[in-house]
Structure 1
């Protein structure tokens, strides 16, 4: 079976991330977890990763990119960069749901997941709001992605014996809120990464689920609201 390489880009959160996968398995990745580095570092990381892997764009089969939900600015940078690569190389574009990618990565690193456990990936959306979805232990969607305000009653719907695991940048701020709730577990410091999307990107490639490069847009979940910088004193 020939090796099918996919370049993967994920910029929905503060983490600027690039990965290379071969037949659905991550073979190299680079994550930079620093604020506001996407515009300056993304193309440099791509170049570095390809070079150190001994590959070029001619060796790739597709470009995959996290489509959100997440940071408005981060998504615009990541998706415009991926589209630019596709235009320049005539490679197909694959859009991967960021929350699904996070869940695939979590399952890969925490298997097996108990049957009574649901998984809730979260991307921070400021204050107590998050972009979140819910999956069961078999990676089947239970609650679709939504922008949600979290409070102490958010998971009261859970049945006796059921539990839910929260993880991602949106979950980190909820540790204290659910510290006394035995049904809710917060896994802190789970970082979003392009390496989490390898399985989903390869599956989409095999099924020829390619995005229209000209019309592909980020999955924002809610409208962007521009704010005016505060005047300096």
Structure 2
């Protein structure tokens, strides 16, 4: 892997930045709810300084495209677009759910992963992934947002690892799957793992200009109780 790619992610409670140059990865990561806007740029400066590089020397900028918190996803893509515009870099969006699958592989050697994120409002973001021989991942359970009781994927056989906060928020999930699962210990996505996915996407020609980078919320509308007299 020779591409020089910077990845940033603020889609969940975790705030992270990572830079890959050749076989070297420099990463910063901190659980910092509501502090992403003050943490992320110093992290970017730190990894670039350690590598002795400037933004303009990179090949692409990757970002956590979601799903996750609406505010977190917007912060991440906004900061990533600002950096990419300034340095004239193409952008690559990476699924936060898929990034957790890669993290489960990095930590546990997982080849099949079911990722969930607590989406609040009694819903979860879900996705299932299988690792390919080239180190990339294929989506075998479509990414979606749904009530926990409706998550009953047809995963087939094999050893499946689980990752993300959804399993913690809804412990009953594992009992309804009808397959044996193993805990990965992964709760949040990290930019370090987005680099792998971003590299494959970049090699496939999936990078876009900064103005065309877009988030993936999965939940496009937020339901709330209307006040009397309001439409």
TM-score by length of 1: 0.82
Root-mean-square deviation (CA, aligned residues, Å) is 2.7
Give the 3 Å change call, closer, same or farther, for CA 128–36 of structure 1 in structure 2.
same
> Which of these residues, 203, 218, 223, is aligned with residue 220 of structure 2?
223
Which of 48, 53, 56 matches 1:55? Answer: 53
Q: Which residue of 2 aligns with 1:36?
A: 34
Partners of 1:32 and 1:209 lie apart in 2 by: 29
Tell which deviates more after alignment, 217-226 or 69-78.
Answer: 217-226
Query: Is the contact made by 1:178 and 1:185 (CA closer than 8 Å) also made in structure 2?
Result: no
The size of the alignment, in residue pairs, is 220
Higher helix share: 2
Change (3 A) 1:52 1:157: closer
Structure 2 CA distance, aligned partners of 1:55 and 1:144? 38
The CA deviation at 1:178 is 3.7
Is 1:17 aligned with 2:16?
Answer: yes
Q: Which residue of structure 1 aligns with residue 128 of structure 2?
A: 134
How much does 1:140 deviate?
2.9
CA positional deviation for 1:207:
2.5
Q: Match for residue 197 of structure 2? A: 200
Asked if structure 2 preserves the Cα contact closer than 8 Å seen for 1:68 and 1:220, the reply is yes
SS in 2 for 1:214: helix
**Aligned-residue offset at 1:215:** 2.9
CA separation of 1:102 and 1:157: change in aligned 2, threshold 3 A: closer
Structure 1 residue runs of 5 or longer lacking an equivalent are: 229-233
1:69-93 C-alpha deviation (Å, 9 max, x unpaired): 1111011111011111111111111
Task: Write the distance in 1 (CA, Å) between the matches of 2:27 and 2:70.
Answer: 23
**1:99–1:43: structure 2 CA closer, same or farther, 3 Å change rule?**
same
Equivalent residue, structure 2, for 1:171: 167
- Residues 221, 27 of structure 1: alpha-carbon distance in 2 compared, 3 angstrom cutoff: same
Q: Do the aligned partners of residues 137 and 27 (structure 1) sit closer, same or farther apart at CA in structure 2, a change above 3 Å counting?
A: closer
The alpha-carbon distance between structure 1 residues 50 and 32, as it changes in their structure 2 partners (threshold 3 A), is same
SS where residue 214 of structure 2 aligns? coil
TM-score by length of 2: 0.82
Runs (4+) of structure 1 exceeding 4 A deviation are 156-159, 179-182
Alignment correspondent of 2:116: 122
